[in-house]
Amino acid sequence: MFENGLNRTVTVSQAETQASTVFLAKVFNWMAIGLGLTGLMAFLVANSETAMQIFIFNPMMRWGLIIGELGLVFYLSARVMRLSPQAATALFLIYSALNGITLSVILHVYTATSVAATFFITAGMFGAMAVYGLVTKKDLSGLGSFMFMGLIGIIIASVVNIFLQSSMMAWIVSGLGVIIFTGLTAYDVQKITQIGASGIMREGEAAIRKGAIMGALALYLDFINLFLSLLHFVGNRD
């Protein structure tokens, strides 16, 4: 009897591990698609003088894009589970494309070599923290709460610095950004793994897709913001 109970426990544990692995793979696939679309849009816009004049060198359009992106990400975060899988996916891809347009300016500000080098550094750091979040037995919810408070702080500081234009504050915000988004990566991966093991894989394709999109958005934001924070330190300007 004891042995049978132990076997059932092992079987359940293995099933949960397999489910979380499959779900995490779906999340990373959508994240990769989002990053690929962002990179493609940034490259296309940066290499089109007309597109740069329309989207980047026009202050009203540039701010419109930024506000539109913020609206999209907040809307998607708040309502993803109420949307259809197709709508959630479309909004995520639209956000990724708009972000690529906005980020095209960095290909004019920084050298292509430094952008590429920073991308690989970001990928290495992101990968290391993702693995940590996946394998650690430590509950990272406390870390996530602390990092989220730090995120609110750097958002406020960034808004204030739009008016102050302080290079010192920009350096401080970037340094904190590296720490915060590195920590959030580990926390988000652990949370996504827990969602995968909690039974979402049995809730049907619609719930799986929407959960994967939500997870992909969180990791996408971690990666992009970590990349931008690192670029401020190691990027070489043209």
With a cut of 80, say whether residue 139 has pLDDT above it.
yes
The residues spanned by each domain of the chain are 2-234
In 3D, which of 180, 165, 171 has the Cα closest to residue 232?
Answer: 171
178-185-217-17 Cα dihedral, nearest 10 degrees: 170
pLDDT for 2: 39
With a cut of 70, say whether residue 86 has pLDDT above it.
yes
Separation between Cα atoms, residue 49 and residue 108, nearest integer Å: 11
With a cut of 90, say whether residue 62 has pLDDT above it.
no
Q: Tokens 């609110």 label which residue?
A: 152
Separation between Cα atoms, residue 144 and residue 156, nearest integer Å: 18
- Beta carbons within 8 Å of 136's beta carbon, 6+ residues apart: 186, 190
pLDDT for 8: 41
How sure is the predictor about 124, in pLDDT bands with cuts at 50, 70 and 90?
Answer: very high
The DSSP H or E segment spanning 198 is none
Q: Tokens 């990791």 label which residue?
A: 219
Question: Can you tell me the mean pLDDT for 162-179?
Answer: 88
The verdict on pTM exceeding 0.85 is: yes
With a cut of 60, say whether residue 11 has pLDDT above it.
no
- Beta carbons within 8 Å of 213's beta carbon, 6+ residues apart: 30, 76, 80, 85, 88, 89, 92
Q: Is 133 helix (H, G, I), strand (E, B) or coil?
A: helix
User: Residues of 56-95 as b/e, b for ≥16 C-beta within 10 angstroms?
Assistant: beeeeebeebeeebeebbeebeeebeebebeebbebbbeb
What mean pLDDT value characterizes the chain? 89
pLDDT, tens only, 176-209: 999 999 999 999 999 999 998 887 777 888 889 9
Q: What does the chain come to in residues? A: 238
Q: What percent of the chain has pLDDT over 70?
A: 94
pLDDT for 13: 62
Q: What percent of the chain has pLDDT over 90?
A: 61
- Beta carbons within 8 Å of 169's beta carbon, 6+ residues apart: 157, 160, 161
Handedness of CA 10, 16, 19, 24 (dihedral sign): negative
pLDDT for 170: 87
